[in-house]
Amino acid sequence: MSAKPGRMNARIALRVRTDSPALDAGLTAGYSDEVKRWAEVRPVGAVAYAASVQSDERVTHRMRMRLFSRITTKYEVVWNGWVYRVRRAKHEHDKRETLLEVEEQRRVDDESEVSNGE
């Protein structure tokens, strides 16, 4: 699944989510500044999804972008009105690319969080 020029046509936003205690005994989510990147976004096939469910680490999409070596599983991806949690990040230094395996989490509630390609 090597990305060719022009295949990275989805504008994604990467951010770190930090949960802190709220006054009502819940959690309040805080987010770092977003880092915008161009990426190739593909849903996984049925077999890959079924295997990920069995291992209790659901993967719904793969996202390939230019090398971003500091990304970890603490990151979230915002794309196309959805928030995805990074499950795995594979840094392919010889190709100068990073492959993310992500799980679709939820719709973006606040319109200010939507990554609109700017």
**Consecutive 10-residue averages of pLDDT for the chain (118 residues):** 70 90 82 90 71 66 88 90 90 86 83 43
How much is the pLDDT for 76?
Answer: 93
Query: What pTM, to 2 d.p., does this model score?
Result: 0.74
How much is the pLDDT for 18?
Answer: 86
Rg (CA), the chain: 15
Q: Which helix (H) or strand (E) holds 13?
A: strand 10-21
How much is the pLDDT for 70?
Answer: 85
Q: At CB < 8 A and 24+ separation, what contacts does 110-116 make?
A: 113/78, 113/83, 114/78, 114/81, 115/11, 115/12, 115/13, 115/34, 115/36, 115/78, 115/79, 115/80, 116/11
How much is the pLDDT for 113?
Answer: 44
CB contact at 8 A, 37 and 94: no
Q: Which CATH superfamily is domain 10-110 in?
A: Bacteriophage SPP1 head-tail adaptor protein (2.40.10.270)
